Structure formats: structure tokens, C-alpha cells
């Protein structure tokens, strides 16, 4: 097994521009894997929805007509609580061609997903695998397209919990980033003129059916002390072979999902509670749930927050993607530069260049040899319309910063 490979590579991630028209992709040689930048949840957690929630937490009025500006806000691109996923991608950008055995990958803004970017104009899937981090807020079309993507044979990897909790509306703007409005969920509904109390989970039954789980809770502190990889799932067996049946980790708590549908569900590993009296009746676990022709892989937790600290979570993510590409879940653990505690040897090999092209209805953006990728420090400036977001990566050192809510 190749245990430690370091590359120095200049690479570009193509991000399609956002257009009010239907997004179309070049079918000639598209990327097979897409990582979604969770722009809508990033926007909601800015100076937006949570300001309103806090201001009216104890408001008993039937209809609220004040502070509504916080429920209709300018979109701000960024990774929100999934910043660790962005950092992982930048730090492992050189080894991805090997991990995916030549399969191309790209990062696309969630706004494009809301405009139909998961499918070609002929209705076929544009990707084999889609990876999402923290996507708490999604549009109705976006939600339907994720479900359709899985139903038609795609693999959806949900790296973070609290997915698909609330519905929003996205209003594109030709000369700007567009606007985002709350529609329903997280305890509130909004119609543009007033807000009122409503459901917390927007699609609980649908999530139970095709995702296999629902958001369970938010909490702080340390409630988990590791991960039990003790099942017969191929990803579990690989994690066990590399790190042991019980893996200590850095994840203490934040937000988790609980499995509510064991039909066509296989457990990959269980999150180990410090005090099992705190555990729900349902499982908090990483799993694979098959729905019609496709599959959903879910970490069960906010895995992006510790992805750059815990190598076994990288193996879960890469194993899920490889499975979706029709490959064996096992793979060379090429992440030693990020996890020095498991470093064995380091060698150098010839660099390669990966390219991807994405076309919108009126603009084509193609990658060429070298451009830069944003360092991810400010999530509000990662994607600019009509431009390529990029930054030259000349080393594989990751500094993980965890934003507090």
C-alpha cells in the first residue's frame, strides 16, 4: 500500500456562473463527482434568519410584521459549518485523481443546483456522485432534484447532519448574487409580508423515506468519544483494517441525525456515546441507505468539522465516493500530510493536471493549467459571478478553524 505521497500541483476548480436561465453542462467529458458549496445555509447563518429567530423567540403574536428584512436577504457564497470540507479538498487536491482512479471532480455553488445543475438538458444525471456538507436550507426544486438524482441511480454523500431541515426560495439576480427568503421550516414560515410559527422539519416523512434519517438535536460539550467500525459494510471493514474497530476521534457533539428507516439501510459505524443514557431510541450512525436505483451515504454527524483531524472520516468520505463510482471502497490512505500522527514515509512523484469544463446557458468556463484557488479564509468571497475562484496550492498543510455558532 502506498502510504505517503506528497505532490506539488497547480490546479483549478471550475465553478459555473449563476444565471437566471437553466444551467446546462458540457456532456462531452464532464466531471463525475460534484462537491456542493452550501451557499444557502451559509447565507442563513449570516446577518439573516437567526437574527429574526432570536428577536422573536418569545413572541406570541400570531403574525409578525417586524424585522422581516432578516428573512429576505442577499445571498452570500461560502461553506458555513462545512468549511472543513473545503479545507480537506484543497489539502488533498493532488491525490484526488488517484483516490478516484482518474474520475474528475468539481465544486459547484448551491445556487446552480437550485437552477438544475444536477441534470443535463436531456434529463440525464450530470454526475455519478454528489457530495454535500451542511445543507440545512434548500429550495423546493433543489430538494426534489437531490431526491431525483438518487432515484435515478446517483450516489448522494451527506457529510454533515441537519440536512434538508427548512425550505427557502432563491431569486437570481442578473447583476448580483441574488436573494434568499425563508419559506417554511426551523419553526417559522414566511410569505414576504408576514411571518408565523410553523413546523420545525419541512420534509420529515420524505427524509425518512429516501434519506433514511432526520435531524435529531443540537448540543455542545463532549457526548461522543469515538466511532465503532464493527459491521460487515465494506467501508466499515476498511476503516477497521486501517484504524481499528473502535476509533477515537475529535468529534464531541454539535448536530446529529438519527436513523429512522432501517429498510434497505446498512450501518457503516456507530457513534459511541460517553453516556449511553443520552442516546435516542434510534441510531446515531454512519450508514448507507438505498433508494430506488441509487444510494445515500450519511456520516450521521457534523463530520466536516473534524474531517481534517480524523483520518478515518476521510476514509468514510472517500470510500463512499469510490462506491458511487463503482470502485472498491478500500483505497490507499494518501492523507498523511494532513494527519502527521499516522505518517509513515513520504515520497515525491510526478505532478499531473486535472481539468473540468462546465457550461451555463450563456457562458462556458473551462480549466487550463494553473490558476489559483481561494484559501477559504472568508466564506463570503469564495465564488464570484463570471469568474473562476481559485488559488495555487503549493503545500499540503491544513489549519482547521472551527467557527462558533
For residue 355, the SS3 value is: coil
pLDDT tens-digit map of 220-250:
999 999 999 999 999 999 999 999 999 999 9
The grid coordinates listed for 158 are 451527506
The whole-number pLDDT of residue 130 equals 98
The whole-number pLDDT of residue 30 equals 75
3-state SS, one letter per residue, for 296-311: EEECCCCHHHHCCCCH
Do the bridges between strand 166-171 and strand 137-139 make them parallel or antiparallel, or are there none, so unpaired? parallel
The residue behind cell 437566471 is 20
Residue 35: strand pairing partners: 107, 131
Which DSSP category does 331 fall into?
-
Phi, psi of 219 (to 5 degrees): -160, 165
For all residues of the chain together, what is the average pLDDT?
81
In contact, 218 and 273? CB cutoff 8 Å? no
Q: How far is Cα 252 from Cα 303, in angstroms, rounded to an integer?
A: 11
Which DSSP category does 245 fall into?
S
Task: Give percent helix, percent strand, percent coil of the chain, each to the nearest 5.
Answer: 25, 25, 55
Per cent of the chain over pLDDT 70 is 76
Per cent of the chain over pLDDT 90 is 69
Assess whether pLDDT exceeds 70 at residue 330.
yes
Closest CA to 334 of 396, 246, 268, 400: 396
pLDDT tens-digit map of 187-218:
999 999 999 999 999 999 999 999 999 999 99
The whole-number pLDDT of residue 381 equals 34
Q: How far is Cα 78 from Cα 37, in angstroms, rounded to an integer?
A: 7
Phi, psi of 228 (to 5 degrees): -100, 105
Amino acid at each position: 500500500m502506498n502510504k505517503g505521497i506528497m505532490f506539488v500541483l497547480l490546479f483549478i476548480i471550475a465553478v459555473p456562473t449563476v444565471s437566471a436561465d437553466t444551467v446546462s453542462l458540457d456532456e462531452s467529458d464532464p466531471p463525475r463527482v460534484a462537491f456542493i458549496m452550501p451557499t444557502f445555509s451559509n447565507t442563513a447563518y449570516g446577518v439573516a434568519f437567526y437574527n429574526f429567530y432570536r428577536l422573536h423567540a418569545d413572541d406570541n403574536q400570531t403574525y409578525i410584521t417586524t424585522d422581516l428584512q432578516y428573512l429576505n436577504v442577499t445571498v452570500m457564497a461560502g461553506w458555513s459549518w462545512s468549511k472543513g470540507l473545503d479545507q480537506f479538498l484543497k489539502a488533498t487536491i493532488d491525490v484526488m485523481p488517484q483516490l478516484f482512479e482518474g474520475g474528475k471532480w468539481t465544486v459547484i455553488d448551491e445556487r446552480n443546483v437550485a437552477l438544475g445543475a444536477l441534470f443535463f438538458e436531456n434529463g440525464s444525471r450530470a454526475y455519478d456522485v454528489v457530495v454535500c456538507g451542511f445543507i440545512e436550507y434548500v429550495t423546493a426544486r433543489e430538494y426534489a432534484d437531490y431526491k431525483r438524482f438518487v432515484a435515478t441511480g446517483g450516489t448522494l454523500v451527506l457529510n454533515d447532519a441537519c440536512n434538508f431541515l427548512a425550505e427557502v426560495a432563491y431569486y437570481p439576480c442578473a447583476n448580483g448574487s441574488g436573494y434568499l427568503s425563508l419559506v417554511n421550516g426551523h419553526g417559522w414560515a414566511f410569505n414576504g409580508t408576514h411571518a408565523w410559527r410553523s413546523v420545525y422539519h419541512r420534509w420529515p416523512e420524505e427524509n425518512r423515506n429516501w434519506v433514511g434519517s432526520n435531524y435529531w438535536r443540537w448540543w455542545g460539550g463532549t457526548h461522543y468519544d469515538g466511532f465503532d467500525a464493527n459491521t460487515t459494510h465494506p467501508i466499515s471493514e476498511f476503516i477497521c483494517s486501517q484504524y481499528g474497530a473502535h476509533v477515537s476521534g475529535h468529534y464531541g457533539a454539535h448536530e446529529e441525525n438519527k436513523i429512522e428507516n432501517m429498510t434497505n439501510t446498512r450501518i457503516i459505524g456507530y457513534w459511541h456515546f460517553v453516556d449511553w443514557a443520552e442516546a435516542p431510541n434510534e441510531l446515531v450512525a454512519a450508514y448507507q441507505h438505498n433508494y430506488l436505483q441509487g444510494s445515500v451515504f450519511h456520516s450521521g454527524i457534523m463530520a466536516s468539522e473534524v474531517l481534517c483531524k480524523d483520518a478515518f472520516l476521510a476514509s468514510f468520505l472517500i470510500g463512499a465516493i469510490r462506491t458511487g463510482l463503482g470502485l472498491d471502497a478500500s483505497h490507499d490512505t494518501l492523507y498523511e500530510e494532513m494527519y502527521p500522527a499516522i505518517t509513515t514515509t513520504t515520497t515525491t512523484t510526478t505532478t499531473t493536471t486535472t481539468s473540468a469544463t462546465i457550461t451555463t446557458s450563456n457562458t462556458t468556463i473551462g480549466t487550463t493549467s494553473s490558476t489559483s484557488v481561494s484559501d477559504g479564509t472568508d466564506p463570503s468571497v469564495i465564488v464570484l459571478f463570471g469568474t473562476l475562484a481559485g488559488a495555487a496550492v503549493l503545500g499540503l498543510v491544513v489549519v482547521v478553524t472551527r467557527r462558533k455558532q
